[in-house]
């Protein structure tokens, strides 16, 4: 489970970040006109006040491509320099081709190998580790790692327990293979990943796949929407994310006292507060933007990382802890020296 930086001729560094959020804002007050809820009910339980909703003609690949362009601009790389694209998403444009291939076409990354991965809210950190292994092995040099979701397509707008939580968006990073002797910023020091398939029923979209295709007989029950057992999800999220954080720090040769900023999965303010408390960190060392965006699954960490960087909340040399938890169940944590 522990996967510290493997011995190799190079290491991986984040050299650019980018994000894109759709223009449409859906506030809690507006949601209260759709389903029985209120701003007070939502914000007091989740910390969420609004979320972004993609336009009908925007696919996940459109959100991902714009975030990718912004990350490439920040990194100062051209589309031709990108030789690997990994997109983490549970809302692909279609079952196949991969969303990554659509991104490749839209940004003109003609030299890239492209594929998607599905690990729900942990997806971006899974994708980061996959890309890191390609780079550290020397088979690729410059990668785009993207977390992108159009979760509004999976929402049951009649279920107030889930429809208030989710939104759309995309975040991306460019990572590059660097000489180990180079004092490069954004170095990924360690990553820990885990999963527990015995908990697949707690958070899922049961319909739409081969196990439960959408038919005329079942379409009315909306099986292709998000189903979640909130209490069980909360309990496992806090436990797994704290453990993964500790393991990632250990793999990096660091301790909790070395952390300058935690960028956690943006699912629920109570979960984030519980994690900070268990790690013994003040909330000012924890970055949150879920009040504006809600839970955007695989996009939450790269979007938050981009915002924290652009707002000056993290600076050169800072130890940044990234941690996520998602359906599967899956969890992951990475330590980056910024």
- Give the model confidence (pLDDT) of 314-331 as tens digits: 999 999 999 999 999 999
User: 301 is written with which tokens?
Assistant: 């960490």
The pLDDT averaged over each successive group of 10 residues in the chain (338 residues) is 51 96 98 95 97 98 98 98 98 98 98 98 98 94 98 95 97 93 86 96 94 93 93 94 97 97 97 96 97 98 98 97 97 98
pLDDT of residue 141: 96
pLDDT at 115: 98
Mapped onto helix, strand or coil, the DSSP state of residue 264 is strand
**Could you count the other beta carbons within 10 Å of the beta carbon of residue 77?**
18
Topology (CATH) of 2-178 = Peroxisomal Thiolase; Chain A, domain 1 (3.40.47)
What is the per-residue pLDDT across 126-168, written as a single tens digit (0 to 9) for each? 999 999 999 999 999 999 999 999 999 999 999 999 999 999 9
Q: Is the dihedral of CA 41, 43, 49, 50 positive or negative?
A: negative
Structure tokens at 135: 């780079």
pLDDT, position 179:
81
Q: Tally the residues of the chain.
A: 338
- Domains 2-178 and 187-337 alike in fold: yes
Contact call for residues 252 and 261 (beta carbons, < 8 A): no
The CATH homologous superfamily to which domain 187-337 belongs is: Thiolase/Chalcone synthase (3.40.47.10)
Distance CA 165, CA 178 (A): 39
Go through 281-299 and write b for each residue having 16 or more CB atoms within 10 A of its CB, e for each that does not: beeeebbbbbebbbbbbbb
Of 103, 126, 130, the residue nearest 114 (C-alpha)? 103
Domain spans in the chain, listed from the N-terminal domain onward: 2-178, 187-337
Q: Which residues are catalytic?
A: 121, 265, 295
Cβ neighbour number for residue 24 with a 10 Å cutoff: 14
Residue 143: partners with Cβ closer than 8 Å, 6 or more residues away? 82, 83, 84, 85, 86, 131, 134, 135, 174, 175, 176
């Amino acid at each position: 489970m522990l996967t510290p930086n493997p011995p190799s001729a190079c290491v991986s560094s984040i050299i650019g970040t980018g994000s894109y959020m759709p223009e449409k804002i859906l506030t809690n007050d507006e949601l209260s006109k759709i389903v029985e809820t209120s701003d007070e009910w939502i914000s007091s339980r989740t910390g969420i006040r609004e979320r972004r909703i993609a336009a009908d003609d925007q696919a996940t690949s459109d959100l991902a491509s714009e975030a990718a362009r912004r990350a490439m601009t920040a990194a100062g790389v051209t589309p031709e320099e990108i030789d690997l694209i990994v997109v983490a998403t549970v809302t692909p444009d279609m079952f196949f081709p991969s969303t990554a291939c659509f991104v490749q076409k839209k940004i003109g990354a003609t030299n890239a190998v492209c594929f998607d991965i599905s690990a729900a809210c942990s997806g971006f950190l899974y994708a980061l580790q996959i890309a890191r292994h390609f780079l550290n092995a020397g088979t690729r040099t410059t990668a785009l790692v993207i977390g992108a979701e159009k979760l509004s397509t999976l929402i049951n707008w009649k279920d107030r327990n889930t429809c208030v939580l989710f939104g759309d968006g995309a975040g991306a990073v460019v990572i590059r293979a660097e000489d180990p002797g180079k004092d490069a910023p954004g170095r990924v020091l360690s990553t820990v990943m885990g999963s527990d398939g015995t908990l697949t029923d707690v958070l899922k979209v049961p319909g739409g796949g081969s196990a439960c295709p959408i038919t005329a007989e079942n379409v009315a029950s909306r099986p292709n929407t998000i189903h979640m057992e909130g209490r069980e999800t909360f309990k496992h999220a806090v436990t797994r994310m704290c453990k993964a954080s500790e393991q990632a720090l250990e793999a990096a040769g660091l301790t909790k006292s070395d952390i300058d900023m935690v960028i956690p999965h943006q699912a629920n303010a109570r979960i984030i507060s519980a994690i900070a408390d268990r790690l013994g960190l003040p909330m000012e060392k924890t970055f949150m933007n879920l009040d504006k965006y809600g839970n955007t699954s695989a996009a939450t960490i790269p979007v938050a990382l981009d915002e924290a960087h652009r707002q000056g909340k993290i600076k050169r040399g800072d130890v940044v802890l990234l941690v996520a938890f998602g359906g599967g169940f899956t969890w992951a944590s990475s330590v980056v020296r910024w």
